[in-house]
Structure 1
Amino acid sequence: MTVNKIGFVGAGKLARVLTFGFIRAGILSAKDIVASAPTERDCEEFRDIGCPVTTDNKEVVKENPVVILAVKPQSLHTVVREIAPLVTRNHLIISPAAGVTVRSIQNELPGRSRVARVMTNLAVEYLEGATAFCQGRFMEEEDYETIMHLFSSVGYCFETPERLMDVMTGLVGGGPAYMYLAIEALADGAVQAGVNRQDAIQLAARAVSGAAKMVLGTKLHPGELKDNVCSAGGSTIAGIFALERAGFRGALMDAVKASSESETSWC
């Protein structure tokens, strides 16, 4: 499966990190990725990458069969209505907007338009992303392959029912931010004990990265891996007890729930 070119309607952070990821993965070159933004100034960072840019959203749709709507949820329907006259059955429209359903996008487009919804995260820039997607009712088999080709190149990609896409906002989209907070807090604990800040951040980040790789590499349940580290009466179980007493698990569960529910008003 190959994709010769794609277009981004929107040239913000998500569009840029996906572009860097696709280029690093070797599936597209800069000249094969075009992006639009409201002003020339908004296009500067994409232009610096070497990508074609435009201030005309319609031009992106005219020239590209795969279009990613990289705009904020509150702006999405305005943009969809703008490009709708140019969307044909030859287009695959991909929306990463949190909380916006496939049906609501299809209602703004010509009948039987091919629409998919995705939720990804900024780690795609380093080919370590996670992407969940669901298919619209009019998608074709090749569209599934296109999405898997694009997003598997920059990390892990899987299909899920749309009823779970808001949960993916809280888990896939928000998960890295929760881990950044954990890394910062772990580093703060080390700094409090006398470790210099730079070393503390490096060590904390390595601890989180290493733990993630152990989960993925061993395929063991995280609880089993945790138990393997906790010796009887040892220092790690003492730390686990402190986290449990502080409600660590519940706080993370609440974070996923809160994030999952925060964008549903855009449906």
Structure 2
Amino acid sequence: MANAVRVGVVQMTSINDLEANFKTCSRLVKEATAAGVKLLCFPESFSFIGTKVEDSLKIAEPIGGPIMQRYCSLARESSIWLSLGGFQEKGPDDAHLHNTHLLVDDSGKIRRTYRKIHLFDVDVPGNMVYKESAYTTAGTEIVVENSPIGRLGLSVCYDLRFSELYQLLRFDHNAQVLLVPSAFTKVTGESHWEILLRGRAIETQCYVIAAAQAGRHNDKRESYGDAIIIDPWGTIIARLPDRLSTGIAIADIDLLKIESVRTRMPIAQQRKFNIFWKPTSPPSSHI
């Protein structure tokens, strides 16, 4: 595959220890570079998962702070692109942070930042009540970036349930690869994780790279795991054999595969966006 570029997706169990998580990430970067990976994708909250909200607010810092500088140095020293999804960026006040996905190139430069738009305010059946908006300020911008791997569309976790974001990334912003770093709950992951990811790949004809938190982080929080890479036809092409282990899965992204799928099934030319998304008049009332 002359046009292929090797990518890796991470599965890990972050905890409330910045140093321990960095050591795990460093080890996985070394494994990836040894395997010829050009882009390695980490999950949401890769650098820290606290036992309570106050922990995350306490360690949150600006993008240029020492935590992110270490990861930028790691990318530079290893000559690898990193997708760092779900960093606790300091927010507009002491009571809020941004859940931020950063894309770092192989020189250690932060190329783009995406602040999670859709916040996880959900009463999970048989599980917990989550209120991410209580301590997180949502983003408002759609973000794409060119890279050696193709044109990347950035998102974070709960965004996955809102297909219109990915439609815009593909059809308005020409994304070829969708990045979905996540920390899905065990309950929602068992029911929806794979099918949502495959759906996003099929409907956009993009590769999807979905890094995942896995297993129990503390007494209160557990993630589903199952880091996977999916091709534009909706086929899973890489996945860790153990849904709860720490490690990387590797696949080759072939941009010609994207072109082939889109040519044979030309939905970009056939979609009726102008009909379905045009403003509608309020229904008339008959008395």
Normalized against structure 2, the TM-score is what?
0.30
Q: Computing the radius of gyration over CA atoms, which structure comes out larger, 1 or 2?
A: 1
Considering Cα pairs closer than 8 Å and 6+ residues apart, tell me whether 1 or 2 has the greater RCO: 2
More helix by share: 1
More strand by share: 2
